[in-house]
Structure 1
Amino acid sequence: MKSKLKVLISGTGFAGQGHADAFRAYGAEVVGIVGRTESVVKEVASKMNIPYASTDWKQALKDCQPDIVSIATPGGAHYETIIQAIEFGCHIFSDKPLTHSGESAVELYELAKRKNIKTAFASSFRYMPCILHAKELVASGAIGEPVEVECISHFNLERDIPFGWSHRKEDGGGRLNNNFTHMMSIVTSVIGEKILAIIGEVRDDMGKAPIVDGVHNFKTRRDFIPKDINDPSLKWGESNVEWSYTVMAKLESKIASKPVSVLFKHGGLNPRFHEEDHIVFYGTKGAIYIKGHYGSGPLYLWDQNKTWKELDMPENITANQPEVEGDTQRNWHYLVREFIKDINGEKVAPYQTFKEGSLYQQLIDLIRKNNNWTDVNYLQ
Structure 2
Amino acid sequence: MHKNSSFLLTRLSKYLKSACRMLSTAENQHVLTKEVGDKAVIILNRPKSLNALGTILNRQLTESLRKCINEKSLIILKGAGDKAFSAGGDLLEVKAYFEDGQWKKLTELIVDLNINIYLIHTSKVPVIAFMNGITFGGGAGISSFATYKIATENTQFAMPESKIAFHPNSGGTYFLNRAKGRLGYYLGLTGNTLKGSDVFQAGFATHYCLSKNLETLEKAILYSSKQDSINEIIDDICERNIPDFSLAPVMDSINRCFAAPTVEDILKKLDEDGTDWAKKTVENLRKYSPTSLKVILRQLQKGRHFNLEECLVMESNLTVNFYHFPDVIEGTRTTLINKGEIAQWNPSRLESVTEELINQHFEESAGEEQRKMLRKLQINVNSKI
**Fold-level match, TM-score > 0.5?**
no
TM category, shorter: under 0.3
Q: TM-score, normalised by structure 2?
A: 0.26
Bigger strand share: 1
| Higher RCO by CA contacts (8 Å cutoff, separation 6 or greater) | 1
Q: TM-score, normalised by structure 1?
A: 0.27
